[in-house]
Chain A
C-alpha cells in the first residue's frame, strides 16, 4: 500500500502537474501554428516572461504588506496574464506583422521568432540574472499531507498543485465555450481551417490575430507562473521547455486545441513514468519475480528526460504526421 501511495505521489501527481503545464503552453502554440501558420519558437520564453511579470507584481504587493488567503503569486497571475497578452500583441506588431505583410515565407517568421526568443532571453537574464527564484514571496507554500487508510506513507499535495489543476480545468472549459459559442472563437476556427474562405465571408482577420495572441500569451503566462510556483522560477528554461510543448502540439495535431490538451498530458505522463523508478512498485512482488530487482529500474535515466518528448515527436512524425486528432500537415 505504501508503494502505491509512493506511485501516486511520484508518478500520477507529477504527471498531472507537468501535463497540465504542457497543455496550457501547447494550446497557445497550436492556435498560433494553426492561425498564423508558423512555429512560434519564442513561446518558452514568453512563459518565463509571464512568470517574471507575476513575480514582480507579487513582490510589489508583498512589499506593500498585502496578505490574502490564497498565495499572492496566484492572485496576481490574472493581471499578469493581461500584461503578457498585451506584450505578446506588441511583439507581433513589432516583429511578425511587418514580415507577414511583406508576404514572407512561413520559415522566415520561424526565424524571426528565434530572434525574438533570444531577445527575450537576453532581456530577462540581463535584469534578473540566471539564479532560480522562489515565487512564494510572502510565506512558504502550504503542503497537505493526506493520510490514506492502510498506509503509513501519506499522500502529498501542495497548494499550487491544487490551484494549477483547478485553473487548468476552468481554462479548458472556458476555452471550449469560447471556441464553440462565441462569434470570435468560431471566427478563429474558420481562419484556422481556411484563411482565404474566412476572409471572403467577411471575418476580420486582424481581430482573429489579436485573439490568438491574447489567448496564447495569457495561457503562456499562466503555464510559466504555475511551473515556477510548483518548483522555482528558472530564467534559463527556454529550449528545454520548448521541446516537450512542441511535441505535445504535434502529437495533438496542429490547430487542434483539444489535441494540444491531450498531447500535453500524454507527453507529461510519458516523461514522468519513463523516469519513474519502477522497482519500488514491484518490490512487494519481489519473491514472485523471475529476476533480481535492481535498485533503480527506470526506463530512461533522469538526465535523459528530454529524450522522451523527442522520441514521441519522432515517432509521431514518422507514422502519423497529422497527430492523433487529425490536425493539418501544412
Chain B
C-alpha cells in the first residue's frame, strides 16, 4: 500500500489493469453485444464525469443539476438531428416560432437596457421600477405567445419535429445550449457563496425536466421520440454488434480528445490559476485574478461537456424520453463516479465513471434477485406476505447505497481512489 501511494503511476496502472480485467470478465460472461453497449454508456458517462470533475475538482463548484444539463443537451440535439416534420413546415407553425424568437430577443434586449439604465443616469428607484416593468411585460408577452403557439402547433402537426441536420452538428449545439443555460445560472450565483449554486442548479434541473415533459409542441412531451439518428450506421441498417462497435469508437475518440485537452488545460497556467482560486480565493483575488470570471468560465466549460455527453448518451439509447431523466441516474451517480475516482484527477474521473457504471448496471439484477429471494423465503419460512410493489423497491435499495457511498467516501477517503497529484513547480 505504502509503495503504491508513493508511486502514483504504479497505482494508476494497477487500477486501470484491474478495470481491464473486470471488463474482460464481463465480455466473456455476458457476450460482446451487451458489453459493448455497457462500454458506450460508460464512455458517455465518462465525458459527463470529466465535465463535473473540472467543476468540482479544479474549481470547487458544487453542481447538483447535472441532470438538467444532460436533458437540455439531449433535447436540443434531438431537435437539430431528428428528421423534419412536413406537417409542421406546411402549417403556420414556423411563422409563429420565428415570431417567438423575435419577441424573445426583443424582451432580452429590453431587460438588458433596463438593467443597465443606471449607466445613462437613471436613479436606483427608477431602475428598479423599469426592471420590474420589463420582467412583467416580457413574461406576459412570452407566456401568452407560447400558449397560442403550443396550441396551434399541437393542433396542426402534433409537434415541431427536428431539423434533420447531421448528428455531430447536433452534439455541438447540445454543448452550446447547455453552456448558455450555465452562463445564466453561473452569472447569477457564482459571485455568492457556494451553497447558492447548489440550490440554483437543483432548481434549474427540475424546471428543465418539467418543461421538457410538458412541452408537447416542442419535444413531443412524454410521448417520446424515436428512433434517434446515429452518427454511424445504426443497427437497423446492418449488423448489431458492428453498429455498436462503431458508436463505441466515436465515443472513445471523443473521450480521449476531451481527456487530452483537459489534461493540457490542467497543467497550463490557466489550470494552475484555477487551483489557486479553489485553494485560497482571497489570495488569488489579491494577486489580481478575476475570481468570478474564471469560475464562470470553468462552470460553462463543465456544463458544455455535460450537454455533449448527455446528447451522446441519449442518441445511443435511440429513444428520447423526458421522463427518463432521473436525479439518481443522471446527477448523483455521476457524483459518486467523480468523488470515488478522485476529484481533480481526470484519469480518476474516467476510472470512476467506467467502474461505477459497471457496478451500477451489474447491481440491478443482483438487487432484484436478492429481493426475490427475500420475498420467496420470507413467505416459505415465516409466512410473510411481500407487498405487491416489493420488487420495484429494489431500486430504492440502490438509492440508499448511493447516498451511503457519498457520505462514506467524503468521510473516509475524501481524495478518492486516484487522488489528485499536485504538481510542484
Contact = CB atoms under 8 A, between A and B. Distances in A.
B200 A122 contact: no
A242 B401 CA distance: 22
Given A123-B400, A314-B200, A317-B196, A118 B62 contact: no
A118 B400 contact: yes
B403 interface: yes
Given A108-B410, A119-B404, A39 B203 contact: no
B211 A304 contact: yes
A122 B401 contact: yes
A107 interface: yes
B411 A98 contact: yes
B404 A108 contact: no
A173 to B, nearest CB: 30
A115 B204 contact: no
A139 interface: no
A309 B135 CA distance: 16
B397 A126 contact: yes
Interface string B207-237: 1001101100000000000000000000000
Contacts of A106: 193-195
A306 to B, nearest CB: 6
Given A115-B410, A126-B397, A129-B387, A313 B195 contact: no
Interface in B306-332: 327-328, 332
A239 B68 CA distance: 14
A119 B401 CA distance: 7
Nearest to A240: B206
Contacts of B195: 33, 38-39, 106-107, 110, 330
Most chain A beta-carbon neighbours within 10 Å: one of B206, B211, B387: B206
Contacts of A246: 199, 203
A126 B396 contact: yes
A304 B206 CA distance: 10
Contacts of A242: 202
B399 interface: yes
Given A126-B393, A129-B389, A110 B193 contact: no
| Among all A-B residue pairs, the 7 with the closest Cβ atoms | A122-B400, A118-B403, A115-B406, A119-B403, A122-B399, A39-B195, A115-B407
A70 B403 CA distance: 38
B410 A111 contact: yes
Given A239-B206, A310-B207, A313-B199, A130 B389 contact: yes
Contacts of A130: 389, 392
Interface string A300-311: 110110110110
Contacts of B401: 122
A122 B60 contact: no
A110 B194 contact: yes
Nearest to A94: B407
Given A119-B407, A122-B400, A250 B198 contact: no
Interface residues of B, number: 50
Nearest to A314: B188
Contacts of B296: none
Interface in A239-263: 239-240, 242-243, 246, 250
B193 A329 contact: yes
Contacts of B387: 129
B400 to A, nearest CB: 3
Report whether over half of chain A's contact residues are helix, strand or loop; otherwise say mixed: helix
Interface in B154-212: 188-189, 192-196, 198-200, 202-204, 206-207, 210-211
Given A114-B64, A114-B332, A116-B403, A310 B194 contact: no
A121 interface: yes
Contact of A112 (B143, B398, B406): B406
Interface in A33-48: 33, 38-39, 41
Contact of A119 (B62, B389, B393, B400): B400
Contact of A111 (B62, B199, B396): B62
Contacts of B397: 122, 126
B384 to A, nearest CB: 14
A110 B198 contact: yes
A242 B143 CA distance: 26
Contacts of A117: 403
A123 B188 CA distance: 35
Contact of A330 (B143, B189, B193): B193
A108 B56 CA distance: 11
Contacts of A119: 399-400, 403-404, 407
A86 B421 CA distance: 41
Given A310-B206, A329-B193, 17 more contacts: A41-B64, A107-B195, A107-B198, A111-B339, A111-B406, A112-B407, A115-B402, A115-B403, A116-B403, A118-B400, A125-B399, A131-B389, A246-B203, A300-B143, A304-B214, A309-B203, A317-B192
A95 B412 CA distance: 11
B62 A317 contact: no
Given A99-B410, A125-B396, A303 B214 contact: yes
B360 to A, nearest CB: 14
B271 interface: no
13 contacts: A38-B195, A95-B407, A115-B410, A118-B332, A119-B407, A121-B400, A122-B402, A126-B393, A129-B393, A243-B202, A243-B203, A303-B210, A313-B200
